[in-house]
Amino acid sequence: MVNRNHREFLIENLKRMEFESLLEIGCGRGEHLTNIESAFPKKRLVGIDIDKNKIESAKVCLKNTQLFVKDLLELPFEDKSFDIVLSSAVLFYITPENIRKALSEMIRVGKNQLIFFEFYSPIEMKIARENYYARDYEALLRSFGVENVWKVKIPTEMWPALPWKDWGYYIEANL
């Protein structure tokens, strides 16, 4: 395997997709969006995060990306607004009572693809000592009628930190 990190892996996968717009949920300080903006300078990019300070930090680096302080559970976008909806290390924070609402919102605003870097498990579980949830995203997405789901375990050398080395997956779904 070529030695690369998860951000490079994301760019490689985006290069095989046709898209004009991308929304990143929980964009933080814009680490993914910085790479995406550089690789795809003519695309419409939007990022949201609930943390105002992170959005302000992201604005320093991201000049061609719209950034908003917003909550995933109430996305302020029209149906089918984005070709791709991305979340990286966000959904594992969503409580069991809110995960269906979060996924519903992502599916609602997405047109073509959902992309997740999340903790995957065939049964939902709270990961010990953390307030993180590992879930069966394949089954959850199927419950919304999303059938074409692809997942791949993130290799330890790509994201060696705990608990990514045990639970981390790249998940892609066609809408």
Is residue 78 one of the residues assigned to a domain?
yes
46-81 pLDDT, tens digit per residue, is 999 999 999 999 999 999 999 999 999 999 999 999
Q: Which two tokens stand for residue 132?
A: 């993180």
Residue 128 confidence class, pLDDT cut points 50, 70, 90:
low
Question: Is the pLDDT assigned to residue 1 strictly greater than 50?
Answer: no
Task: Tell me, yes or no, whether 1 lies in a domain.
Answer: no
Note the pTM of the prediction, 2 decimals: 0.95
**What average pLDDT does the chain have?**
94
Number of domains in the chain: 1
Question: Could you tell me the residue range of the domain that residue 52 belongs to?
Answer: 6-174
Q: Is residue 115 part of a domain?
A: yes
* pLDDT average, residue stretch 119-132: 85
Supply the CATH number for residue 66's domain: 3.40.50.150
- The average pLDDT across 93-108 equals 97
